Amino acid sequence: MRQKLAAFALVIAVSVYGALLMSDVFLWWQESGVRQTGDLYVRDAGRGYAMRPGFKGVVTTTQPFAVTTNAAGYRDGEWSAERPVRVLVAGDSFVFGEPLPLEDGIVRKTEACLGPDARAYNAGISGYGVPQVLATIRKECPALRPRHVYYLYYLNDTSWDEMDPSSRTVVDGFVVQAVAADRRTPLPDAELEQRVKAALAARRLGLGPTLALAHLGRFLDQRGIHPRRLWGGAMVPATPATETGNADDYTEEASRAAAGMVTAMREAAAACGGDFSMVVLPSLHEVTTGLEEPATRRLVGLLAGSGIDIVDLRQTIPRDRRLHLVRDRHFNGEGTAWVAARLAEHFTRRHGSLPASPPRCAAQ
C-alpha cells in the first residue's frame, strides 16, 4: 500500500513539475524574442536613433508583427498635406502601435473617427522620451501644418535614459545603451557590439536555469506573488510598488526638464499654426493597482498653471474592461479604439464636428 501511495505521489509530483517546466520554457520563449528589429533602426544625430525610411519587415517584441515605414521614416502611409483637417500624433511605442497591425493602432483609429476629411499622422517611435518627441514635433510640424498636435505621454517618458537621447544608439539593428554604468561615459562601438552578442547568447535556453524554473520565478516575483513572498508568516502578497518610484531612474530634475520641453512642444505646435495637448495614457499597472505613478504626478503637477492642455485618461479609463494586452504593457485592439475615441471627442470639442465624422467612435 505504501509503495502504491509513494508511486502515486511521485506521478503527481512529476506531472506538476512537468507542467511548471513547460510554463518556464514558454516564458523563456516569449522573453527571448524581445526587440528583434532587423535593420528597422538607424542612428540619428539629434534623437539618438530613428527608423529607417522605406523599411518593410517583421519585428518581434512580445510577438511578431509587420512593420512598414514611409519615406519620412515613420510607421504610416506616405505623408501629404492634402486633407483639410490634419492631426499630428507624437510619442513612443503606444503611438507607433506596438505590437499590433498598423490599422489596429491608435492613430489609424483616430483618423477613422474623425472622418474622410481628416488625416492623422503617426510620428511615434518606440522608446522615445520627452526630448525625442520634442525634436520630432519640431522636425515634422512645419511641413504638415497640423490643426492639432497630440503628445501621448506614458509613465516611462521621463526615465534617465529616455531623457538623454545620447544614452542609446543602434548596433546591428538593435537599440542599445550607449553609455557606461556611470550613465555618462560613451562606450566604444566594439564594446557595444560585444554587448549585443552577449545579450543574444543570454537568450538561448539554458538547462540549469530552466530546470530551476528561473523564468517562472522571475515572472511571479515581478508581480509580487512568488511563494517566498507568501511564506513570511502573513501569507499576504507584497504591496505592489509603482513603476517610477526609483529616485535614481526618475529624478525631480528630469521632471522639471520634461515640463520645460512639453511647454516647448506647445510653442513648436503654435509656430506651425496648431493647438497642442498632452495626453496621459494609463498603464495596466495603474489600472489594476489604483496607484499613481510618482513621475507622472510630478510632471502633471509642474505643468499645472502653465496653460498646457492636459487630457488625463487615467481619470476616465473603465476599470471593468480589459483594454491592455495580457503579456504586454500596450493596449489591445479594444484599448486603442477607446483611446482613439477619446482623442476624437477632444478634437471635436476644441475644433467643432467634422461633416462626415462616423458616429460609431462615440460609443467606444
Give me the pLDDT at residue 112, please. Answer: 95
Q: At what angle do helices 214-222 and 2-32 cross, to 10 degrees?
A: 70
Q: Are residues 216 and 249 in the same domain?
A: no
**Is residue 233 assigned to a domain?**
yes
143 and 118 within one domain: yes
Q: Which of 362, 146, 134, 171 is nearest to 259 (CA)?
A: 134
| Beta carbons within 10 angstroms of residue 100's beta carbon | 21
User: How would residue 199 be classed by pLDDT, with cut points 50, 70 and 90?
Assistant: low
- 227 with 250, same domain: the answer is no
Cell numbers that stand for 210 in this block: 530552466
Which pLDDT value is given to residue 200? 66
Confidence band, pLDDT 50/70/90 cuts, at residue 12 = confident
Which pLDDT value is given to residue 196? 77
The set of residues, in sequence order, having a beta carbon less than 8 Å from that of 266 and lying 6+ positions away, is: 276, 307, 308
Q: Do 151 and 223 fall into the same domain?
A: no
In a domain, 67, yes or no: no
- 28-42, 192-206, 337-351 — which one is most confidently predicted on average? 337-351
DSSP 188: P
Number of domains in the chain: 2
Determine the Cα–Cα distance for residues 324 and 118; give it in Å rounded to an integer: 27
Q: Is the pLDDT of residue 32 over 70?
A: no
Is there a single domain that holds both residue 231 and residue 259?
Answer: no
What nine digits make up the cell of 32? Answer: 527571448
Q: Over 80: is that where the pLDDT of 10 sits?
A: no
Residue 146 inside a domain? The answer is yes
Taking the C-alpha atoms of residue 8 and residue 71, their distance in angstroms, rounded to an integer, is 65
Mean pLDDT of 9-27: 66
Mean pLDDT of 285-299: 93
Residue 156 shares a structural domain with residue 260: yes
What proportion of the chain, given as a percentage, has pLDDT over 90?
Answer: 57
User: Which residues neighbour 34 within 8 Å (Cβ) at sequence distance 6 or greater?
Assistant: 60, 61, 62
Q: How confident is the model at residue 175 (pLDDT cuts 50, 70, 90)?
A: confident
Compute the distance between CA of residue 351 and CA of residue 150 in angstroms, rounded to an integer: 14
**Which CATH number characterizes residue 266's domain?**
3.40.50.1110
Query: Does the residue 179 lie in any domain?
Result: no
Question: What is the reported pLDDT for 235?
Answer: 45
Q: What is the pLDDT of residue 214?
A: 61
Lowest mean pLDDT: which of 136-140, 255-259, 286-290? 286-290
Residue 223 inside a domain? The answer is yes
**Could you tell me if 128 and 258 lie in one domain?**
yes
Same domain, 211 and 107: no
Per-residue pLDDT tens digits for 83-97: 999 999 999 999 999
25 lies in some domain: yes
User: Domain ends where: 193, 218, 237?
Assistant: 237
Rounded mean pLDDT of 318-324?
92
In a shared domain, residues 209 and 289? no
Query: Considering the domain boundaries, does residue 319 fall inside one?
Result: yes
**Residue 271 sits in the same domain as residue 134:** yes
Whether 202 shows a pLDDT value over 80: the answer reads no
- 160 DSSP assignment: T
Question: Of the candidates 52, 87, 51, 53, which has an alpha carbon nearest to the alpha carbon of residue 70?
Answer: 53
Digit-coded pLDDT (tens) for 95-108: 999 999 999 999 99
In a domain, 177, yes or no: no
Same domain, 14 and 160: no
pLDDT of residue 213: 63
Residue 335 C-alpha cell reads as 484599448
* Between 237 and 291, residue with greater pLDDT: 291
Please report the pLDDT score of residue 6 as a whole number: 67
Measured CA to CA, the distance from residue 267 to residue 261 in angstroms comes to 10
**Residue-range definition of the domain harbouring residue 226:** 1-32+205-237
Q: Which of 237, 259, 281 is the last residue of a domain?
A: 237
Say yes or no: 144 and 217 in one domain. no
Among 237, 258, 291, the domain-final residue is 237
Cα–Cα distance, 297 to 358 (Å, whole number): 35
